[in-house]
């Protein structure tokens, strides 16, 4: 018995994440959070270490550090911002190794979501989100009897998919 249905029920049914998809979504959020924290810490450390450097340092603000960290983790390497101190370069080495690994894991996670979705669709395992339907699986004599019983009750509000 349904006592209460909120007005956004159809929208929330489509947006809800269930089971295995929820585990993948949580893993996705963890990886995104890890990459964001890695960028922030690297930018902060590079900026702090480069403040002690010489006049030729190019990371003069925290935002320069953010720019350098994003460019480094994305393996673009423009070269407009770069550390000149030993500590700054050490942060850069760690950022490149850990960041590239994290970015690779992130890319693999996204690819696996698409592959899994295609496989579920090919096997007919996707969640069916319809209303007022009856789906009969495994056709046999019992199913024929069940279908006749449904048709006799004149279930006119529902579509029957076989």
Return per-residue pLDDT of the chain as tens, 162 residues: 344 444 444 444 555 555 667 777 888 888 889 999 999 999 999 999 888 767 788 888 899 999 999 998 887 878 888 888 899 899 999 999 998 898 888 888 888 888 887 888 778 777 777 777 777 777 787 777 777 777 776 655 555 555
Range of the domain at 63: 19-126
Q: What is the CA radius of gyration of the chain?
A: 27
Domain shared by 105 and 119, yes or no: yes
Domain shared by 31 and 60, yes or no: yes
CA end-to-end distance (rounded Å), the chain: 27
Instruction: Say if CB 84 and CB 60 are below 8 A apart.
Output: no
Q: Which helix (H) or strand (E) holds 134?
A: strand 133-135
Q: Is 85 exposed, middle or buried (0-12, 13-18, 19+ CB in 10 A)?
A: middle
Domain shared by 57 and 67, yes or no: yes
**CATH code for the domain of 27:** 1.10.287.70
Domain shared by 93 and 150, yes or no: no
Continuous H helices in 59-136: 62-73, 86-123
pTM: 0.61
Domain count for the chain, please give it: 2
């Amino acid at each position: 018995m349904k006592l209460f249905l909120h007005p956004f029920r159809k929208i929330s049914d489509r947006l809800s994440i269930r089971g295995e998809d929820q585990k993948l979504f949580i893993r996705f959020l963890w990886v995104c959070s890890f990459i964001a924290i890695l960028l922030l810490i690297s930018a902060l450390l590079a900026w702090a270490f480069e403040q002690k450097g010489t006049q030729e340092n190019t990371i003069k603000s925290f935002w320069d550090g953010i720019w350098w960290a994003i460019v480094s983790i994305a393996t673009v390497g423009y070269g407009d911002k770069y550390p000149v101190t030993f500590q700054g370069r050490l942060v850069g080495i760690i950022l490149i190794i850990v960041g590239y690994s994290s970015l690779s894991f992130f890319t693999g996670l996204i690819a696996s979501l698409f592959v899994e979705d295609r496989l579920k669709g090919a096997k007919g395992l996707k969640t069916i989100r319809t209303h007022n339907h009856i789906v009969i699986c495994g056709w046999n004599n019992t199913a024929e009897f069940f279908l006749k019983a449904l048709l006799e009750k004149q279930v006119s509000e529902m579509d029957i998919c076989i």
